[in-house]
Structure formats: structure tokens, C-alpha cells
Structure 1
Amino acid sequence: MSDDRATAAREKLRAAMVRLSEGDRAALEEIYSATHAKLFGICLRILKDRKEAEDALQDVYLTLWRRADRFEPKAASPISWLATFARNRAIDRLRTGKVRAGAVPVDEAMELADEAPRADRLLEDAERSARIHHCLDELEEPTRSSIRSAFLEGRTYAELAEESDTPLGTMKSRIRRGLAKLKTCLDYQ
């Protein structure tokens, strides 16, 4: 994702956080959609138990709903602030002693690296995927189905040519022209 898109995703999340602090319930859904995968990953890495991580994540969003007004848009990145919430909730669950065996020891939890993709990266990937599918849908048949089969299903050009009773050179040309059109479409999206 480009820096412009990352910045736009961050600003969109920041704006949703501000709206949430003003009582906008719809903003919570937007924040959840943009951040739940990353925050769940943090909780799961610490707690090592899916149910415990889900419970901790629920606590994160409940706390966020109650304390959104504490978020300082100019002082912190929204995803960093939320990641701290998630880490703290997971550590709180460890400290209660009720978490099943296999969880990371409390002393090590603070040092645990966050290896999950950033929320803005996940958002970018989803947007990129939507753009690719939109541009694929703009192609004419049989070019569209040939490209989908070759690149999404892993079929060879020879298999596609044989299956459609098309000369191999024609299949290669069809896909090459289709990819050029796909690139043009993606450049303008």
C-alpha cells in the first residue's frame, strides 16, 4: 500500500475514534472492522487460547466504548492506542490467574512482539483485492475467465488452451492483452 493510502486509512480510523468519543455508535463498528484482526492477534499471542483471546478482545471494545473520550487524536496513533488496550486486557486476564495453561508468563507478555499486520495494512489489502476483482469484472469473457483460472486457480496456459479448444498462442495472447487492460484499470482505480 502506498504511503498516501496508509495515511488515509490512519486518518479514517482517527476520525472514527473521534466520532466514537462523541457518542456515534456506527463509529464503533467501523473501528471494529478496521482493527479486530490485529487486536485479536495480540490477545491470542499473549493468552494462547482462542476463547480467552475472544473474551479479552470483547473487553477491549467495551472499554473503548466507555472510554473513547480519553483518546487524544494529536497525541497517539489510534491503532497503537488500541494495541496497548488489547495488550493490557490480555495481561490483566493473565494476572487474574484464571487463564488456562499455556499462556505466556506475565513477565514476558510485555516484551511480546506484535507480528500481526497493522490494521491499516489489512484495510489496504482488502481494498486492493476489491479493486482487482472490480477490474477483472470489467474484462470481457473469455479473457476474464482465462485470467481467473490462470492466476487464481493456478491453471497452466496449456491446460486452458486445451480445455477451450484454443491454440496455445491465442490463449497466451488473450491473457497478455487482458493483463495489460487489468493493469490500466488498476492504475486508474
Structure 2
Amino acid sequence: MDEAELRQKVCHAAHQLWMRGLIAGADGLVALELHRRRYIVTPPGRRRINLHPEDLICVDMEGEDLQRDAKLTSEEWAPHRVVFQHTMNALPEDVAKGTNREVKATVLGTPPKLTALLALEPGTTSLRIHAHPPIPVLWPDDATALRTAITKHPLVAIQGLGLLASGPTLGQTLSSLEHAEQAAEIEATLRLLR
């Protein structure tokens, strides 16, 4: 797939996240691997619903724009960088054993129901919601915990940032975030009915 197609996919993903209420305004970040250590990324400060392919930036592993004079903040890019660094050398046998995962896409979102449930359990290290695998809850500066968590979990909660989804395709990455938000909605409804 060429760069133009990948840019279209990232724009479409950003639009979908906004339309589904999984991000608001310029929140969140969508990243898709272009080549090893090169990523197409939604730019900071731009409303996600209004993005066009030419608005996206191409960054290196450090989050520095390779085509313009822009840079993602370390807070914005750090979780994505940790995931990409840890999984870039995933061997097929590691993936088969479950000791690593193939990741080509990451999405940081703020799904409202998941975020609300997370806020109700401030000290938790694992968010448990209806009919969904537990979601590890981490602190943004704990790269070691993030590396450990993303080995087995396609979705992790990062205190103060949101929910970070990762996967081998952008479609699978978005789906894991959508399924978790739907499970959170069911969980919230069940809590109201108890």
C-alpha cells in the first residue's frame, strides 16, 4: 500500500473516532506505520473531523516530523513510541508463543464510558468490564509496565491520557477500542440496574 492510501486510512480512522464519540475536537492520536521507524500520524491541534490526507504528518521514532518543521510532544508520542519500539522486532515465533505482538497501528482515544468507569476506580491496576478481558491501567511515565502490558493486551488505559489501542492493522486497532467502549456501556447500564 502506498503512502497516499495510508494517509486516507488514517484520515478515515480519525473521522470515525470523532463521529463515534471516541475522541473530541483535536484529542487523540492515530498512528500507522509507513515503513520501519516511519509513521503517518494525526497532527497536534487539528480537529480530527476536518483532517485531510495532506494535513497528516510523517514522524520518525522520536516523534519528529520528517517533512515539515513540527514535532509531537513527548507526552503525545511516548506511549505510541514505546509500543512501536517494543513490537517492531516481533518474530513470528514470538507472536505464536504470545511473548510479543505484531503492531502496525496505534490509536489513543478518550471513549467516554471507559474513561468514566476508569475515573470511578482511581487506584485500580486493571479495569474489569462486562464480557471483556481486563484492561491494564498504567501511569504515563511507566514505560516498563507499558512494554509488559502491550505484549498481551491490545488495549491499555493510561491515567490522564486515555485508552491506547494497538494492533496489526488500523481496522483491528479501531475495533478493539469500539468493542471495549460497547462493553463499558453495558457495564455502566448493569451498574445502574443493580
Structure with more strand by fraction: 2
The TM tier, using the shorter chain, reads: under 0.3
Structure having the higher Rg? 1
| TM-score normalised over the length of structure 2 | 0.22
TM-score by length of 1: 0.23
Per residue, is there more helix in 1 or in 2?
1
